[in-house]
């Protein structure tokens, strides 16, 4: 059997005393948490241990004794052994360290049923003596750990909720982490405290900073209340009946500014809830929200500062109308080109002319609309720019919406082209079945053969021929306008992606990982400290930090995903068939 003793590094040089810690159930290992120094009164130690046990809620006991003999403290061996009778334990660890030597020696005293003490020694068999001699040797491995890091680290993957008693008990390492983290009350005993007991363990250095934290905690309560009150007002306004009418509701679900607004509202609702965060994950999520909100607002302020400094707003407004004009002119030229013989393609002249004139008229309408709007554009931009004080994401969403509104003509062209093309494709596919004497059986979802009447065949073939010869013209218009639409969708998609990135990126968790890498642990690694033939094996336990990608994956704030719902193949198929594509987020798919 190998006995593992987890030993805190800070206790390496502690004065002699008692080891306080716990045995890990189900495993042959012990976690040492602190060393209580001489001199002490055993009754007080027992009382202290009981008190700590009650506070931490975990198991805590005196594990054994620790001796680091200094000058003039020789001959404690027998005294330490006698201590085991004062603190009756199943096993009594007796750890010695000689000054100047790196290794410890450990003796394990085992008490059998009769209450007799059996000694087993790590290195060599016990020579004689009044104790019974054990045949087998028990090896002891010392695992040194850094108490502070282990205490604050969170071992991943996380166990959520109450552990199920039916499933396997948590692993040894997890139990060890839990026992260190759970015995926080033990570490409150300061080195400067003037109590009856003195002990060595990890001690917080920054008590002063923790006062600030306490103050912040106190201040956050009224802040949360204020926020909650404001939120309730906002919810009341947004739930008003006017907003649930059909056109407004539809519009608000399509405008990314409104979506972002509802998103932020939900964040705020989570933050302002009076309940404390339940569990580590929830806490980190909340912290992520706060940090990302703060970063967002500060970026927005930066944007505002830039926009309103040198009157950039009016510059933007003055360039916007000529830009829209320019786009319209380019489109007109494109249409003229399409109405000729584009790329040497021979298209149906009559249909080409009809479509071209239709689209030209549309552009004409659009330009007059823009010119009608032009006096108001500066004002709209001025007030719209103010929305950046809610955060950069709002400004970006507003930009996306404005792009959508300014390229409305492209959208219209795209819809007309797509509908026409879709009609042709569906008509052709069903007429092709008629052409071959088949039909689509809806009930069985397959193609069946069918005998048509003469007139059906005649009209079907006539339509088939017409559609087939007109298809290239429609397909070319569809192709050109789809490409234009894709450019707009791509632009909006990039904006949505960046907004989503700001919303959901776990800044706090990543910062934690970068600055305090031990806080998010994925596992541990051991390094051999000293392995002398005479002494026990000493290992140093170091914490493996969680991988950055895993951090991002675990702690991403759940958002309404704006990633394209379909894969690339599905998108291409949609484009080929002529179904409409949208950059809008789909509210139903909330991805965690």
Partner 1 sequence: MGPDGVPGPAVPWRKVLWECQAFPDNYVDQRFLEELRRNEGIRQYRYWAVVREAGFVGEQLSCVAIFITLWLYMEQSLLFPETLLWTSLVCALLGYGLHRALPAPVESGCEPRTRLADLQSAAIFLSFTFGFSPVLKTLTESVSTDTVYAMSAVMLLAHLVSFPYAQPSPPGSFSLNAALFASVCLASRLPGALHTFAMLTCALLVFALWPCLLQRLRGSAPSQFAGVCVGVCVAGVAGLGSQWPGGAVLLALALGSVTLLCPLLLVRLQRHKDNIQGPWDEAEIHEDLGHFGH
188 vs 358 by CB, closer to partner 1: 358
230 vs 345 by CB, closer to partner 1: 345
User: What is the enclosing helix (H) or strand (E) of 64?
Assistant: strand 61-67
Q: Is 461 one of the binding residues for partner 1 (CB under 8 A)?
A: yes
Longest dimension (CA), the chain: 121
| Distance in Å, CB of 523 to partner 1, minimum | 43
Q: Is 471 one of the binding residues for partner 1 (CB under 8 A)?
A: no
**Vertex 342, ends 340 and 346: CA angle to 5°?**
80
Q: Please state, in angstroms and rounded to a whole number, the distance separating the CA atoms of residues 493 and 400.
A: 9
Residues in contact with 414: Cβ distance below 8 Å, sequence separation at least 6, in sequence order? 481, 482, 484, 485, 580
469 vs 563 by CB, closer to partner 1: 469
| Distance in Å, CB of 334 to partner 1, minimum | 20
Question: Is residue 545 a contact partner of residue 518, using CB atoms and an 8 Å limit?
Answer: yes
Determine the interface stretch with partner 1 among 152-160, 457-465, 505-513, 547-555 (rule: CB under 8 A): 457-465
Count of other CB atoms within 10 angstroms of residue 535: 18
Residues in contact with 505: Cβ distance below 8 Å, sequence separation at least 6, in sequence order? 288, 292, 552, 556, 557
For 250-316, the DSSP string reads HHHHH-HHHHHHHHHHHHHHHHH-SSPP-HHHHHHHHHHHHHHHHHHHHHHHHHHHHHHHTTHHHHH
Determine the interface stretch with partner 1 among 32-40, 99-107, 346-354, 496-504 (rule: CB under 8 A): 346-354
Determine the interface stretch with partner 1 among 61-69, 72-80, 213-221, 430-438 (rule: CB under 8 A): 430-438
| Distance in Å, CB of 432 to partner 1, minimum | 10
Q: Is 470 one of the binding residues for partner 1 (CB under 8 A)?
A: yes
Using CB under 8 A, pick the residue from 458, 501, 563, 576 that binds partner 1: 458
168 vs 455 by CB, closer to partner 1: 455
209 vs 345 by CB, closer to partner 1: 345
Half-sphere exposure of 88 (CA within 13 A, CB side): 6
| Distance in Å, CB of 558 to partner 1, minimum | 45
Using CB under 8 A, pick the residue from 113, 167, 239, 451 that binds partner 1: 451
Q: Please state, in angstroms and rounded to a whole number, the distance separating the CA atoms of residues 165 and 157.
A: 18
Peptide bond into 157 cis (omega under 30): yes
Using CB under 8 A, pick the residue from 78, 455, 568, 569 that binds partner 1: 455
3 state SS of 166: coil
Q: Is 453 one of the binding residues for partner 1 (CB under 8 A)?
A: yes
460 vs 564 by CB, closer to partner 1: 460
158 vs 350 by CB, closer to partner 1: 350
Q: Is 465 one of the binding residues for partner 1 (CB under 8 A)?
A: yes
Q: Is 118 one of the binding residues for partner 1 (CB under 8 A)?
A: no
Using CB under 8 A, pick the residue from 454, 549, 569, 592 that binds partner 1: 454
Q: Is 357 one of the binding residues for partner 1 (CB under 8 A)?
A: no
3 state SS of 585: coil
Binding site for partner 1 (CB under 8 A): 346-350, 434-437, 451-455, 457-462, 464-466, 469-470
């Amino acid at each position: 059997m190998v006995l593992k003793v987890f030993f805190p590094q800070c206790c390496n040089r502690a004065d002699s005393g008692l080891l306080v810690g716990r045995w890990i159930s189900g495993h042959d290992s012990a976690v040492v948490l602190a060393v209580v120094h001489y001199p002490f009164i055993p009754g007080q130690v027992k009382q202290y241990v009981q008190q700590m046990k009650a506070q931490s809620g975990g198991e805590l006991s005196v594990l054994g004794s620790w001796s680091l003999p200094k000058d003039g403290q020789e001959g404690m061996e027998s005294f330490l052994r006698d201590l085991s009778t004062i603190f009756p334990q199943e096993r009594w660890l007796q750890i010695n360290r000689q000054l100047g030597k790196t290794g410890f020696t450990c003796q394990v005293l085992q008490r059998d049923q009769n209450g007799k003490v059996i000694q087993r020694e790590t290195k060599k068999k016990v020579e004689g003596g009044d104790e019974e001699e054990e045949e087998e040797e028990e090896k002891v491995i010392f695992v040194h750990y850094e108490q502070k890091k282990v205490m604050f680290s969170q071992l991943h993957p996380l166990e959520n909720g109450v552990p199920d008693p039916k499933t396997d008990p948590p692993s040894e390492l997890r139990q060890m982490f839990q026992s260190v983290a759970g015995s926080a009350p033990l570490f409150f005993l300061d080195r400067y405290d003037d109590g009856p007991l003195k002990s060595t363990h990890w001690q917080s250095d920054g008590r002063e900073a923790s006062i600030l934290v306490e103050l912040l905690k106190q201040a956050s309560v009224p802040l949360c209340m204020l926020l909650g009150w404001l939120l309730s007002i906002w919810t009341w306004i947004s739930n008003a009946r006017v907003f649930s009418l059909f056109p407004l509701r539809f519009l608000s679900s399509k405008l990314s500014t409104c979506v972002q607004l509802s998103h932020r509202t939900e964040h705020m609702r989570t933050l302002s809830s009076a309940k404390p965060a339940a569990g580590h994950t929830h806490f980190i999520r909340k912290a992520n929200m706060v940090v990302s909100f703060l970063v967002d607002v500060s970026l927005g302020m930066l944007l505002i500062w830039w926009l309103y400094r040198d009157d950039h707003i009016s510059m933007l407004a003055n360039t916007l109308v000529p830009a829209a004009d320019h786009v319209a002119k380019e489109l007109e030229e494109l249409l003229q080109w399409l109405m000729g013989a584009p790329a040497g393609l021979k298209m149906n002249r009559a249909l080409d002319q009809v479509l071209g004139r239709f689209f030209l008229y549309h552009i004409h309408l659009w330009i007059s609309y823009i010119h009608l709007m032009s006096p108001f554009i500066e004002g709209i931009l001025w007030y719209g720019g103010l929305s950046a004080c809610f955060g950069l994401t709002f400004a970006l969403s507003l930009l996306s919406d404005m792009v959508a509104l300014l390229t409305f003509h492209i959208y219209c062209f795209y819809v007309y082209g797509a509908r026409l093309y879709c009609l042709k494709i569906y008509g052709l596919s069903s007429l092709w079945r008629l052409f071959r004497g088949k039909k689509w059986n809806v009930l069985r979802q397959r193609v069946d053969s069918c005998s048509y009447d003469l007139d059906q065949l005649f009209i079907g073939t006539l339509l088939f021929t017409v559609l087939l010869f007109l298809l290239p013209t429609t397909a070319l218009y569809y192709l050109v306008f789809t490409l234009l639409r894709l450019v707009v969708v791509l632009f909006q998609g990039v904006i949505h992606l960046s907004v989503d990135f700001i919303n959901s990126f776990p800044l706090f968790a990543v910062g934690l990982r970068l600055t305090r890498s031990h806080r998010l642990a994925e596992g541990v690694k051991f390094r051999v400290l000293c392995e002398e033939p005479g002494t026990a094996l000493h290992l140093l336990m170091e914490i493996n930090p969680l991988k950055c990608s895993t951090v991002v994956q675990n702690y991403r704030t759940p958002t309404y995903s704006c990633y394209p719902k379909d894969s690339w193949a599905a998108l291409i198929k949609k484009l080929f068939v002529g179904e409409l594509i949208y950059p809008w987020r789909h509210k139903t798919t909330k991805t965690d």
